[in-house]
Amino acid sequence: MNTTILIGAFAFWLAAWALNSWLAVQRPANVAAQRAIDLFVPVLFGVTLLVLWEGLARGFNIPTVLLPPPSLVWERILASSHILWADFQQTFLKAVLAGYAMGCGAGFLVAIAVDRSPFLKRGLLPLGNFVSALPIIGIAPIMVMWFGFGWESKAAVVIVMTFFPMLVNTVEGLQASSAIDRDLMRTYAASYWQTLFRLKLPAASPFIFNALKINSTLALIGAIVAEFFGTPIVGMGFRISAEVGRMNIDMVWASIAVAALAGSLFYGVVALIERAVTFWHPSVRGG
Amino acid sequence: MSATTPIAAPGSGSGYRPEAGLTERFLASKAFAVSVIVLAIIAAWYAFAVHMNTQWQIDIYNRGNVEWTTTDLVRDTLNQARPVLPAPHQVAVEIWNTTVMMDPTSRRSLIYHAWITLSATLLGFVIGTLLGVSLAVGIVHSRAMDKSVMPWVIASQTIPILAIAPMIIVVLNAIGITGLLPKALISTYLAFFPVAVGMVKGLRSPELLQLDLLRTYSASRWQAFWKLRWPSSVPFLFTSMKVAIAISLVGAIVGELPTGAVAGLGARLLAGSYYGQTVQIWSALFVAAAMAAVLVALVGLVQRIVLKRMGQAA
């Protein structure tokens, strides 16, 4: 046991905690300083977690097959970046993006079709809500059987997983415009498509983006878990399960770091687009 | 008024509407619409089953030089031992045989596997809910926690935890924690998030006016929490618990995939995919779906009872 490292880590933790508590109750006059604090506090919290992890792993001499310290994981990321990049291409750029686009697109189009028929709306909404709560991930072995080991089967899982949240949210969103607005469109003699594009879709966009955000994490999970059921020798899910078997835990953490980064960026990009598109919505407008 | 009703339709402005007959009300009911669509899905499923299993069946006919008619083909494609897509009745028979007709302690019984998954789900759900509630209480009462922890609670869910599941399980096994707990921890990680977010919203849902009122009563923070914040957060708690229990089940199933596939619904899925037992995969899938539905419905039932007793029923 290395006491100096342990004490250092704990001292850093306490100092960071004190600084954070102090910063959190500050109310600076200008907006820029407040923004900087709002950004700095969570970053410091994250850094503290990493320092604690590093300190505990090194201080207690935890075997690296159980919990490698972050510095080791970082070295591994640098050393095998070409493998991680190949995995990222296979899983994210092929399976996730293709499946996400097709699943969300299909859900969106079906929702618009369903919205025209009150009968389908009554019947499909409860079913869609029901299916969204099911462990859809279980279809992964079936998809692997049908579409083979390549990225196509993973994209198929992603399509099914992303379809229902998109369907349910879009159908709900298309009902979000108020009756008085729809009546106004009728007094303008607006056609169905004009009403759809000028009124219903803009009113539905907060719901649609909600589904897009939910789906961005679902898609990554679906693709990675589907790879557990059979895959060519590349892909993030394959890497994780294979390296766990060989007890190369630092490589597993490296893959996870890439997956986490990809997931966060994906979510962040969708959230940014949402801010740009639904700038009028109270949740975006009111700071 | 729906958008399709003409504004000038007879009676649309006056609010007059002829009394709807029994048939009309039935045709307009939700149950009717849902059943029609479910029946349509089952019909489509049969059609797909025939279509997807045809190639294999024709190969068999050609190899055996058997004369066949379309009726034979349809009958045989719906009753293959290892179909590409099993017919609904095959799945139903398999579920019946492995649940009702079999001793529940047997390793081939689906009830045995479902119970193992269910226990991990429930344990993870309970720990996750407690963790989520206590995090939310901390976040609502401490500005430092709100600013530093809340962003990470949200960031934690962009990490595909299910992808880490195999490692968590292997590592926990290596340090001697085996059995239920590793799987339950994965469920916990997934379940705490909706509860934490929902409860933060719920604990903040009392209006400023009400909080001020308690201040004028010189109520302590503890009293304000117990008499105002907690009761007003209960509807939010149940809504998030419905999400949490569904997601706990997913966590438990995925948690069963990597550990050598011994027992549980996830293990059944994996074993089925190794040996090409499609009927087994589909039946495990349907049992999992039924379990999710029952669990969500149970939480909903408790919600209705509790809210009614609290006088909050809608």
CA gap A251, A238 in Å, rounded = 12
Q: How far is A5 from chain B (nearest CA, A)?
A: 23
CA gap A122, B49 in Å, rounded = 27
Q: In this predicted structure, what is the pLDDT of residue B310?
A: 85
| Least CB–CB distance from A123: residue in B34, B243, B246 | B34
Which value, to the nearest 10 degrees, does the dihedral of the CA atoms of residues A16, A20, A21, A24 take? 180
The answer on pLDDT for A109 being more than 90 is yes
Question: What are phi and psi for residue B245, nearest 5 degrees?
Answer: -75, -35
Examine the domain organization and report whether B133 and B57 are in the same domain: no
A267 contacts on B by Cβ (under 8 Å):
158
Inspect the interface and report whether the beta carbons of B160 and A23 lie closer than 8 Å: no
Examine the domain organization and report whether B47 and B144 are in the same domain: no
B268 contacts on A by Cβ (under 8 Å):
none
CA B108 to chain centre: 24
CA gap B178, B255 in Å, rounded = 12
- Number of neighbours of residue B74 by Cβ within 10 angstroms: 16
Evaluate whether residue B314 is within a structural domain: no
Q: In this predicted structure, what is the pLDDT of residue B1?
A: 41
Q: In this predicted structure, what is the pLDDT of residue B273?
A: 75
Examine the domain organization and report whether B173 and B49 are in the same domain: no
Inspect the interface and report whether the beta carbons of B30 and A123 lie closer than 8 Å: yes
Evaluate whether residue B198 is within a structural domain: yes
Examine the domain organization and report whether B172 and B276 are in the same domain: yes
The enclosing H or E element of B228 equals none
Q: In this predicted structure, what is the pLDDT of residue A283?
A: 67
Question: What are phi and psi for residue A190, nearest 5 degrees?
Answer: -75, 140
Inspect the interface and report whether the beta carbons of B258 and A228 lie closer than 8 Å: yes
Residues A135 and B186 sit within 8 Å (Cβ to Cβ): no
Q: How many domains does one find in chain B?
A: 2
- Is A66's Cβ below 8 Å from some Cβ in B? yes
CATH number of the domain to which B275 belongs: 1.10.3720.10
Evaluate whether residue B202 is within a structural domain: yes
CA distances from residue A178 to A185, A186, A208, A274 in whole angstroms, order as listed: 11, 13, 17, 22
Examine the domain organization and report whether B76 and B141 are in the same domain: no
Q: How far is B269 from chain A (nearest CA, A)?
A: 7
Examine the domain organization and report whether B184 and B252 are in the same domain: yes
Longest dimension (CA), chain B: 92
Inspect the interface and report whether the beta carbons of A263 and B158 lie closer than 8 Å: yes
| Least CB–CB distance from A133: residue in B34, B157, B296 | B296
Evaluate whether residue B278 is within a structural domain: yes
The enclosing H or E element of B11 equals none
Examine the domain organization and report whether B138 and B35 are in the same domain: no
Arithmetic mean of pLDDT, A72-93: 87
The answer on pLDDT for A69 being more than 50 is yes
Q: Scanning every residue of chain B, which has its alpha carbon at the shortest distance from the alpha carbon of A236?
A: B163
| Least CB–CB distance from B158: residue in A217, A244, A252 | A217
Longest dimension (CA), chain A: 79
Task: Profile chain B (314 residues) by mean pLDDT over runs of 10 residues.
Answer: 53 60 79 87 86 81 79 79 81 82 73 87 93 89 76 71 73 75 85 86 84 89 87 87 88 74 77 79 86 89 89 66
CA gap A66, A62 in Å, rounded = 7
Which of B69, B85, B101 is a domain's end point? B85
Inspect the interface and report whether the beta carbons of A137 and B162 lie closer than 8 Å: yes
Give, in degrees to the nearest 5, the angle at Cα A279 between A277 and A282: 130
Residues A235 and A185 sit within 8 Å (Cβ to Cβ): no
Q: Scanning every residue of chain B, which has its alpha carbon at the shortest distance from the alpha carbon of A239?
A: B163
Q: In this predicted structure, what is the pLDDT of residue A73?
A: 86
| Least CB–CB distance from B254: residue in A17, A127, A225 | A225
The answer on pLDDT for A98 being more than 90 is yes
Evaluate whether residue B103 is within a structural domain: no
Examine the domain organization and report whether B146 and B275 are in the same domain: yes
Evaluate whether residue B13 is within a structural domain: no
Helices (H) and strands (E) in chain B, counts: 13, 0
Q: What is the pLDDT of residues A189-241, one digit of tens each?
A: 999 999 999 999 998 988 898 889 888 888 888 888 888 777 778 888 888 87
Inspect the interface and report whether the beta carbons of B257 and A225 lie closer than 8 Å: yes
Structural domain including B186 reads: 110-309
Q: In this predicted structure, what is the pLDDT of residue A252?
A: 84
Inspect the interface and report whether the beta carbons of A127 and B38 lie closer than 8 Å: yes
CA gap B131, A161 in Å, rounded = 27
CA gap A224, A81 in Å, rounded = 19
* DSSP codes, chain A: --HHHHHHHHHHHHHHHHHHHHHHT---SSHHHHHHHHHHHHHHHHHHHHHHHHHHHHHTT--TTT---HHHHHHHHHHTHHHHHHHHIIIIIIIIHHHHHHHHHHHHHHHHHHHT-HHHHHHHHHHHHHHHTS-GGGGHHHHHHHH-SSHHHHHHHHHHHHHHHHHHHHHHHHT-S-HHHHHHHHHTT--HHHHIIIIIHHHHHHHHHHHHHHHHHHHHHHHHHHHTT---S-SHHHHHHHHHHTT-HHHHHHHHHHHHHHHHHHHHHHHHHHHHHTTTSHHHH--
Residues A31 and A76 sit within 8 Å (Cβ to Cβ): no
| Least CB–CB distance from B1: residue in A179, A195, A224 | A179
Q: In this predicted structure, what is the pLDDT of residue A287?
A: 44
Q: In this predicted structure, what is the pLDDT of residue B15?
A: 57
A136-153 burial string, b = 16+ CB within 10 Å, else e?
bbbbbbbbbbebebebbb
Give, in degrees to the nearest 5, the angle at Cα A39 between A38 and A42: 90
- Number of neighbours of residue B66 by Cβ within 10 angstroms: 10
Q: In this predicted structure, what is the pLDDT of residue A104?
A: 95
Examine the domain organization and report whether B51 and B118 are in the same domain: no
CA distances from residue B9 to B4, B13, B14, B192, B240 in whole angstroms, order as listed: 10, 8, 10, 52, 43
Inspect the interface and report whether the beta carbons of A45 and B152 lie closer than 8 Å: yes
Examine the domain organization and report whether B80 and B121 are in the same domain: no
Q: In this predicted structure, what is the pLDDT of residue B221?
A: 85
Q: How far is A183 from chain B (nearest CA, A)?
A: 8
Kindly state the tokens that stand for B89.
């009745």
Inspect the interface and report whether the beta carbons of A145 and B84 lie closer than 8 Å: yes
ipTM computed for the complex: 0.73
Evaluate whether residue B67 is within a structural domain: yes
The mean pLDDT of chain A is: 84
Evaluate whether residue B174 is within a structural domain: yes
Kindly state the tokens that stand for B142.
């401490």
Q: In this predicted structure, what is the pLDDT of residue A158?
A: 92
Residues B155 and B93 sit within 8 Å (Cβ to Cβ): no
Examine the domain organization and report whether B127 and B257 are in the same domain: yes
Examine the domain organization and report whether B197 and B234 are in the same domain: yes
Q: What is the pLDDT of residues A29-67, one digit of tens each?
A: 778 887 887 778 778 878 888 888 888 888 887 777 777
Residue of B115, B41, B55, B42 lying closest to B84 (CA atoms): B55
Q: How far is B162 from chain A (nearest CA, A)?
A: 6
- Number of neighbours of residue A123 by Cβ within 10 angstroms: 22
